[in-house]
Amino acid sequence: MRTIQAIYENGVLRPLQKLNIPECQRVEIIILEDDLPLSLIAQTAQQAGSYDFLQHPEQDTYTIEDGEAV
């Protein structure tokens, strides 16, 4: 999964960067509008698996040298 930005123009979503995918590839698009509540954005990220790494201790990048949590 990856996130890209696009602009909606004349009834078409136009990506702002080149997409390295085959022609006619079917994709799923989740639209996050600027005025969405943060809780809905967080819920969407969770459903998409964005926080899955938090369940794996080997992914913990913090060490005692990083200091105390704030």
Instruction: Please report, for the chain, the start and end positions of each structural domain, with discontinuous segments joined by +.
Output: 6-61
Q: What does the pLDDT look like over 32-55, one tens digit per residue?
A: 776 767 787 788 888 888 888 777
- Reported pTM: 0.41
Higher pLDDT, 6 or 33: 6
- What does the pLDDT read at residue 43? 85
Higher pLDDT, 33 or 22: 22
- What does the pLDDT read at residue 25? 92
Q: Which residue has the tokens 């080997």?
A: 58
